[in-house]
Amino acid sequence: MTYLNDIFGLSATAKPISQQELKSLPLFLSGRFELLKGSINQTKVLWAKIRDEVEFTPGNLKKQAGQLKSWAMTIVIFVFDELDSWQRKRLIERRINFLQTARQLFVPDILLELGDIQQRNKSTSVKTEALSFPAQLTILFHLQNKSVEHIALNELARLLNYTGMTVTRLTREFESVNLAKVRGSKEKYLLFLYTGKRLWEQAFPFLRSPVKEIWFYDGHFPTDALPGGQQALAEYSMLSQGNYYDYCLGKEKFRSMKLDGELPKLDKKYGTNRLEVWHYEPSIIAGFAAKTVDKLSLFLSMKNETDERLQAALNDMIKNMRW
């Protein structure tokens, strides 16, 4: 734990727990973690290092933190050697104590949040701003459908059905968070600074759930909508279909269908099926012949689900992505 002092300026200790003490811990927990007793700035903690072969979700870590805390009667901090940026973000959203070795320490239980040296040198007053939904659609389209690099910006506007002003604005957003640069003299075009999975990881902190509002209804839904939620996740994983149908529709199409009287009777609370209204049209990314919404939008729409089965299926879906 000397690097906690070297990098973060914190006093920390750690020592192994005796086999005798571990006998009182359920096997399913002792098998998942390497446990150490210790302290951080004089506060007693239990360090719980995730074993390399163990899969985890924020949901099950939250539950296991409570079980370990009851056993050790002290604060639990999960320790990771490696974490993707999107995984760190999800742990932070769920307020789960964790340490990524020599990189980041997040312990809301004792009001500690420290990043690596590079991050610490940045102004602490600067907050991460989410990308606009047109920018989000553009990057997800690029990752899953068709490259948007080296396309003249006016052509990109036509491709994504945006105005030229909107495309100019989203290119500035990409530049402001160091995801892409605008190149070209006579005709400007986008050039991303990362590719594939690395681009997804760098963009993830700036991305949001596309869901604007949720409605419930009975009966069938018009064919303009794409299956989403658990219904779509069942197509991308070993998860079984849920008890209801879940459809997704862009806000503009939703407004148009509502005005034309093409929607079933909707209710905010009651109905056998569910409709998600998205900030952008899901078929633009998924493709107009798609059977479900795209994987990355689906992940963003469900990333805060507390059901461990759903979290595991979402993680498997991302892990099996072909970038």
- For the 133-206 domain, the top CATH level (class) is mainly alpha
pLDDT confidence bin for 55, thresholds 50/70/90: confident
pLDDT of residue 90: 86
pLDDT of residue 115: 64
172-188 pLDDT, tens digit each: 999 999 999 999 988 99
Cα separations (Å) of 29 from 76, 88, 94, 117, 216?
13, 22, 20, 33, 40
Q: Which two tokens stand for residue 307?
A: 């059901």
Please check the confidence at residue 127 and state whether its pLDDT lies above 50: no
Q: How many CB atoms lie within 10 A of CB 23?
A: 9
26-42 pLDDT, tens digit each: 888 888 899 999 998 88
201-256 pLDDT, tens digit each: 999 989 999 999 999 999 887 677 899 999 999 999 888 877 778 999 999 999 99
Domain ranges of the chain: 2-120, 133-206, 211-319
pLDDT of residue 117: 40
Q: Which residue has the tokens 């760098």?
A: 202
81-117 pLDDT, tens digit each: 878 777 888 898 889 999 987 678 899 888 776 765 4
245-275 pLDDT, tens digit each: 899 999 999 999 988 888 889 999 899 899 9
Phi, psi for 193 (deg, rounded to 5)? -85, -10
pLDDT of residue 116: 53
Task: Tell me how far apart the alpha carbons of residues 275 and 186 are, in angstroms, rounded to a whole number.
Answer: 44
pLDDT of residue 304: 86
| Most confident stretch, 9-13, 112-116, 299-303 | 299-303
Query: Can you list the alpha helix ranges (DSSP code H) found in the chain?
Result: 2-8, 19-22, 27-30, 58-72, 85-93, 117-120, 133-144, 153-160, 164-176, 196-203, 229-236, 251-259, 282-286, 295-302, 308-319
Task: Tell me how far apart the alpha carbons of residues 128 and 126 are, in angstroms, rounded to a whole number.
Answer: 7
pLDDT confidence bin for 162, thresholds 50/70/90: very high
The residues near 304 (Cβ < 8 Å, ≥ 6 apart) are 93, 209
pLDDT confidence bin for 199, thresholds 50/70/90: very high
Q: State how beta strands 104-107 and 112-114 pair.
A: antiparallel
Task: Look at residue 12 and give its three-state secondary structure.
Answer: strand
Mean pLDDT of the chain: 87
Q: Which two tokens stand for residue 180?
A: 């892409």
Per-residue buried b or exposed e for 260-271, using 16+ beta carbons within 10 Å of the residue's own CB:
eeebbebeeeeb
Please check the confidence at residue 306 and state whether its pLDDT lies above 60: yes
Please check the confidence at residue 125 and state whether its pLDDT lies above 50: no
